[in-house]
Structure 1
Amino acid sequence: MIQMASPTLMRAATAKFEQVLYYMDAPEVVLLDIGKVSKIIAVATDRISARGFFGAKVSLAQFRLYLQDRFDLRHLMLRPDRWTWFEFDLPEDRSVRVKLDPIDLTPDIIARIIPKHGFFARDHSEDYEAITFEQRSVQRFEVDGQWDMREFGKFHAQISDLYALTQSVDQFVDAAVPLEQKRTIMKSFVKPWEGGGSYYGFFRSLAKTGGEGARPNIKAIQWASPGYMDVVGDADAFDRLISLIEHFADNRKSITDNYNHLWSYLKETNYLNRSSRTLERTSPVRIEIGERAKALGKVLGVTSYRTLKQMAGNDALVAAKVLLATERRVSRLYDFFSEGRVSVSGITVA
């Protein structure tokens, strides 16, 4: 049973009419603005009461994903922010705030009221342009020396893994991102962590969870030497990635020392290829792993050990292994730059 907010416990709310999204003979899907981080998306209905519309309160992050056709309207309205639904009428004067009456419905009733599967944002009759999406930019990596397709694939894989991780961290710490999405990110950390397959699956899961925004795509490759690889993605994410490489170059000894300090302890305690199932929460081993992982997270600069541990369901061993895997990927990218085989305009990596 879905837990829903009781109408008797919710304060009276109002919202501002924003626009019609789908119009046939009359407005069928409308959008209300209820604050900086929330919207109400509603459908016309006569199946509840005399009220004309049934709406779900959704976060801005949810609405962005809906506009990108990540899921249909049925999915969006069955999973609203804080499980909150309203019924309301639209006033004749659209400048007047809309009075919202909270409504407590069972999932079965909701399923009969909202549209069937298959109605996406692309089916709207009216355009929606109020939200400005992050621009997908092209990052050019200049390449030189001898390359083969396998090496291009290896280089792109390191970029993709780090890109997915940093984007997932951003979503996890963003208060506007729905709790359901954060739980989905956390599920990516649920792996055996007993060998290399877990690491590969982990980064693939993060990329899949984050959708298009967590996957940089190759736009073009020029094979000539010198040549280039053009990768399409978020400009801020590329800036952060390049900053990580520069940071690694400037702090390589400290990062490597802390990596070895953590890795050697996991090897010594036989936890490199074991899960934390046999590791007591209060054991000295777990505490020592946490301290060494914290030190690595601090010098590596991707994100804090504390955040990774939260993402990993407070599993210190998993957070430690993710940090080790992250360092290896940054180190491999650094090698491409330090060898003179890859460069980016405007930066120098020693």
Structure 2
Amino acid sequence: MTAAVKAQRKMNVRPVANLFEVEIPLVVLLSKQAGQSTQHFIACAIPDEDGQLDYYFAVFVGRQNLIRYFNEQCDLRFLFAFASGRKYYTFKNLPKGKDKKVAMQEFDGELGEHLFPDSRFFVTSHTSDYGIQAEVGVEQRLMIDGHWDMQEFGGFYQKFSDLYSYKQAIAYLEEADTAKTEKVQRAFSSKPFKGGSSYLGFFGDLFEIIPPRERPVLEGIEYHSPGFVDLRGKEEILNSIKDSVSLFLESADTIQKAHDDLRSFMTKSKILSITGGAKDVSAELLGELQILIATFYDALPIDGKDSLKALAKQNSIVHAKIGLALFRRLKATAHFFAQGRLSY
């Protein structure tokens, strides 16, 4: 092997933080500048036969996976054993003193279980608080009763999450954050709203705008009859969903009729099959549609109704379809309460 090849297999990195240590650092975060970006590595101490430090085994961790790890969306073993783009390195010791670098050597040995950390080692196990952010929001407990299957519970949480994402997006419009406002506007105007995938993509885009640490979280669940579900999120948004559910149940028949009138008209007029960007709707048809939309939105208990038409770029078809999508999610959520299987 030539000297040039050997040089390519070495890399100087800088220790960033000792994430977990007991007498010596056992899990270490390191980094290296790569042009305008920063590459990150996590190293674990490997013991010798006597239980003393032998060397460190390190893995390259891409930015998204590092974010997932610090948000407790994966454990340390995932970064070493399954994360995409991983590359392995070794080094003997950590340097003493600040601003000292580590010379890592690319690992070319045989992988084995002895090199990987145990499962279920999460960021909350760290002895350092580096990168750990305080929990956002409050807990809200929902009581559950009756019989549930896994598909139903998954459906409830998805619909609840969609409503949360929508309400958070509307709240972002009131903040002085240009980047978030532009993302919200793009989510509302970039989908054709012709089929189911458009709606899934729409609510998915709204969810992605929320920073990971601010997203709604299923904090805990005790599945008995009765049992409970603990959700975590921003208090004002959780309470807003609670109010919307209560108001929906109070006026369910009125809201359903306004929905059915709008949807029936759109079906008979073949508007439901038209993509949101279509312009081939007559003025007469458009006028009738706008009256039905106004009646429907007046009955629908959701936030941000005054902003929706502008967000839809004055496109009445998109305006109507967003409302129908919100209705479906609110109705599905409210029905679990109406059935007595959920309560606040």
Does residue 158 in structure 1 map to residue 159 in structure 2?
Answer: yes
TM-score by length of 1: 0.57
> What is the CA-CA distance between 1:318 and the residue it aligns to?
0.8
* 1:30-179 superposed matches below 5 A: 135-172=136-173, 174=174, 176-178=176-178
Report what 1:186 is aligned to. 185
Deviation string for 1:140-193 (max 9, x for gaps)? 111011112211111111110001111111112x15232x32221111121121
302-311 vs 148-157, greater mean Cα deviation: 302-311
Structure 1 residue 207: Cα displacement: 0.7
Q: Per the alignment, do residues 270 and 144 of structure 1 end up closer, same or farther by CA in structure 2, a change over 3 Å counting?
A: same
| Residue in 2 that maps onto 1:263 | 263
Alignment: residue pair count: 213
Instruction: List aligned pairs for 1:1-20, cutoff 5 A.
Output: none
SS of aligned partner of 1:147: coil
1:295-324 deviation digits (Å, cap 9, x = unpaired): 211111213544111112222111111111
Rounded Cα–Cα distance in structure 1 between residues aligned with 2:206 and 2:214: 8
The one-letter amino acid paired with 2:258 is N
Flag the structure with larger Rg: 2
Extract unaligned runs of 5+ from structure 1: 1-68, 70-132, 345-350
Aligned counterparts of 1:280 and 1:226: Cα–Cα separation in 2: 53
- For 2:249 and 2:214, the matched residues in 1 are separated by 25
Question: Secondary structure, in 3 states, of the residue corresponding to 1:229?
Answer: strand
Return 5+ residue gaps in structure 2 as ranges.
1-66, 68-133
SS in structure 2 of the partner of residue 191 of structure 1: coil
| Alpha-carbon shift at residue 218 of structure 1 (Å) | 0.6
Work out the CA distance in 1 between the residues paired with 2:293 and 2:184. Answer: 21
Secondary structure of residue in 2 paired with 1:220: strand
Q: Is residue 239 of structure 1 aligned with residue 216 of structure 2?
A: no
Large movers: runs of 4+ above 6 Å: none
RMSD: 2.4
1:70-110 deviation digits (Å, cap 9, x = unpaired): xxxxxxxxxxxxxxxxxxxxxxxxxxxxxxxxxxxxxxxxx
Q: Matched residue of 1:270: which SS?
A: coil
Look up the SS of the partner of 1:314 in the other structure: coil
Correspondence 1:300-319 to 2 at 5 A: 300-303=300-303, 305-319=305-319
Alignment CA distance shift 1:293-1:230 (3 Å): same
**Partners in 1 of 2:214 and 2:327 — Cα distance?**
19
Q: Give secondary structure in 1 for the equivalent of 2:302.
A: coil
Q: For 2:262 and 2:135, how far apart are their aligned partners in 1?
A: 37
Give the 5 Å matches for 1:192-211: 192-211=192-211
Q: 1:252 to 1:185 in 2, by over 3 A?
A: same
Q: Does the 8 Å CA contact 2:290/2:316 hold for their aligned counterparts?
A: yes
Q: State the alpha-carbon separation in 2 of the partners of residues 319 and 325 from structure 1.
A: 10
Task: Note if contact 1:186-1:311 (Cα within 8 Å) is conserved in structure 2.
Answer: yes
Question: 8 Å contact 1:221–1:228 — kept in the other structure?
Answer: yes
Q: Identity percentage over the alignment? A: 28
Q: Compared with structure 1, are the counterparts of its residues 247 and 217 closer, same or farther at alpha carbon in structure 2 (3 Å cutoff)?
A: same
Question: Shift in Å at residue 281 of structure 1?
Answer: 7.5
Contact 2:137 2:232 in 1 (8 A): yes
Correspondence for 1:76: none
User: 1:167·1:214 contact (CA, 8 Å) conserved in 2?
Assistant: no
TM-score, normalised relative to structure 2: 0.58
**Letter paired with 1:325:** A
